[in-house]
Amino acid sequence: MMKKINSFLLLAFALLTTQWASAQCTGTISASNSGATFTFTSTNPTSLQQYHSWDFGDGTYGSGQTSSHTYTTAGSYAVIAYFGDSINMCGDVDSLSIIVPPISGSSCTAAFMISGSSPSFTFTPTGTPTAPPGYYSYDWDFGDGSVAWGTNTPSHTYTANGTYNVTCIFMDSIWCSDTVTNTVVVTGIGGTNCDASFTYTNQGNTYSFVPNTPSATLPYFWDFGDGNTSTSASPTHVYSSGGTFHVLCTIGTPISPCFDTSYATITIAGGPAFGSISGVIDMGSTYADAGVVFLITLDSNGILSMVDTTQIDSLGMYYFSNVVYGNYLVKAALSPNSGNFTNYLPTYHGGTPALPGGALLWSNANNLLLNMPYLNNIDIALVAGTNSGGPGFIGGSVSQGANKTGDPISDINIMVYDQNNNPVAYTYSNNQGTFQISNLPFGTYTVYPEVQGRVTSPLVVTLTASTPGTSEIGVTVNSTTVDVGITTGISPSVAFTGLKLYPNPVLNELTIDLGEQISGEATFTLIDVTGKVIQTVSQSGTNVLKMNTSNLNEGIYILNIQNNGNISNYKFVK
**CA-closest candidate to residue 460, choices 503, 416, 491, 498:** 416
**485 with 493: CB under 8 angstroms?**
no
Query: Is 520 inside a domain boundary?
Result: yes
**290 with 338: CB under 8 angstroms?**
yes
**164 with 182: CB under 8 angstroms?**
no
Last residue within a domain, chosen from 100, 122, 157: 100
Q: How buried is residue 441: exposed, middle or buried, by Cβ count under 10 Å (0-12/13-18/19+)?
A: middle
- The more confident residue out of 493 and 111 is 111
Q: What is the mean pLDDT of residues 309-332?
A: 89
- In this predicted structure, what is the pLDDT of residue 490? 31
What is the Cα Rg of the chain in Å? 43
pLDDT band for position 163 (cuts 50, 70, 90): confident
pLDDT digits (tens, 9 = 90+) for 348-374: 998 654 444 457 888 788 888 888 888
Q: Does the pLDDT at position 530 exceed 60?
A: no
- In this predicted structure, what is the pLDDT of residue 376? 85
Q: What percent of the chain is predicted at pLDDT more than 90?
A: 17
- In this predicted structure, what is the pLDDT of residue 15? 32
- In this predicted structure, what is the pLDDT of residue 22? 37
Query: Is 58 inside a domain boundary?
Result: yes
**222 with 232: CB under 8 angstroms?**
yes
Distance from C-alpha of 191 to C-alpha of 199, rounded to nearest angstrom:
19
Among the listed ranges 37-46, 318-327, 393-402, 558-567, which one has the minimum average pLDDT value?
558-567
Quote the Cα angle for 238-239-245, to 5°: 125
Same domain, 433 and 452: yes
Same domain, 473 and 408: yes
Query: Is 13 inside a domain boundary?
Result: no
- Sequence-distant (6+) residues with CB within 8 A of 475 are 396, 397, 398, 399, 412, 414, 429, 449, 482, 483, 484
- In this predicted structure, what is the pLDDT of residue 320? 92
Same domain, 477 and 401: yes
Same domain, 292 and 253: no
Same domain, 284 and 239: no
Same domain, 320 and 233: no
CATH of the domain at 63: 2.60.40.10
Give me the number of domains the chain comprises: 6
Q: Containing H/E element for 157?
A: strand 155-157
- In this predicted structure, what is the pLDDT of residue 529? 59
- In this predicted structure, what is the pLDDT of residue 210? 94
Among the listed ranges 15-29, 40-54, 74-88, 502-516, which one has the minimum average pLDDT value?
15-29
For residue 213, the enclosing domain spans 192-268
pLDDT band for position 504 (cuts 50, 70, 90): confident
Query: Is 318 inside a domain boundary?
Result: yes
Same domain, 296 and 363: yes
> Which segment, 48-57, 503-512, 523-532, is predicted with the most confidence on average?
503-512
Same domain, 184 and 196: no
Q: Containing H/E element for 570?
A: strand 566-573
Query: Is 214 inside a domain boundary?
Result: yes
- In this predicted structure, what is the pLDDT of residue 425? 93
Q: What is the mean pLDDT of residues 184-212?
A: 82
**309 with 294: CB under 8 angstroms?**
yes
pLDDT digits (tens, 9 = 90+) for 388-418: 888 889 999 998 875 555 688 888 999 999 8
pLDDT band for position 175 (cuts 50, 70, 90): low
Distance from C-alpha of 547 to C-alpha of 534, rounded to nearest angstrom:
12
Same domain, 361 and 303: yes
pLDDT band for position 198 (cuts 50, 70, 90): very high
- In this predicted structure, what is the pLDDT of residue 190? 59
Last residue within a domain, chosen from 189, 220, 248: 189
- In this predicted structure, what is the pLDDT of residue 491? 34
**CA-closest candidate to residue 169, choices 145, 144, 129, 137:** 137
Quote the Cα angle for 389-392-396, to 5°: 120
pLDDT digits (tens, 9 = 90+) for 3-51: 333 332 233 333 333 334 334 567 788 899 887 889 998 876 555 557 7
Sheet architecture: strand order including 61-63: 61-63, 50-55, 75-85, 90-100
Same domain, 285 and 373: yes
CATH of the domain at 531: 2.60.40.1220
pLDDT digits (tens, 9 = 90+) for 104-157: 555 677 888 898 888 889 999 887 676 666 678 888 999 988 888 888 889 999
Q: What is the mean pLDDT of residues 325-329?
A: 87
Q: How far is CA 75 from the centre of its chain?
A: 44
- Sequence-distant (6+) residues with CB within 8 A of 210 are 198, 199, 200, 234
Same domain, 162 and 199: no
The DSSP symbol for 189 reads G
Residue spans of beta strands (DSSP E) within 231-338: 236-238, 243-252, 259-268, 274-283, 286-287, 291-298, 304-311, 317-324, 326-334
Q: Is the peptide bond before 373 cis (omega within 30 degrees of 0)?
A: no
Q: Does the pLDDT at position 209 exceed 90?
A: yes
pTM for the full predicted model: 0.46
Distance from C-alpha of 408 to C-alpha of 395, rounded to nearest angstrom:
14
pLDDT band for position 162 (cuts 50, 70, 90): confident
Q: What percent of the chain is predicted at pLDDT more than 70?
A: 81
Q: What is the mean pLDDT of residues 538-566?
A: 78
Query: Is 3 inside a domain boundary?
Result: no
- In this predicted structure, what is the pLDDT of residue 237? 92
pLDDT digits (tens, 9 = 90+) for 411-466: 899 999 988 888 999 999 998 889 999 899 999 898 999 888 788 888 888 888 88
- In this predicted structure, what is the pLDDT of residue 352? 54
Last residue within a domain, chosen from 383, 400, 431: 383
- In this predicted structure, what is the pLDDT of residue 4? 33
Query: Is 306 inside a domain boundary?
Result: yes
Q: How buried is residue 481: exposed, middle or buried, by Cβ count under 10 Å (0-12/13-18/19+)?
A: buried
- In this predicted structure, what is the pLDDT of residue 492? 35
Query: Is 403 inside a domain boundary?
Result: yes
Q: What is the mean pLDDT of residues 384-390?
A: 88
**CA-closest candidate to residue 246, choices 391, 374, 149:** 374
Phi-psi region of 196 (alpha: psi -120 to 50; beta: other; left: phi over 0): alpha
Query: 11 φ, ψ to 5°?
Result: -65, -45
- In this predicted structure, what is the pLDDT of residue 12? 32
- In this predicted structure, what is the pLDDT of residue 230? 92
**CA-closest candidate to residue 205, choices 165, 244, 257, 242:** 242
Across the chain, what does the average pLDDT equal? 79
- In this predicted structure, what is the pLDDT of residue 191? 52
Same domain, 481 and 404: yes
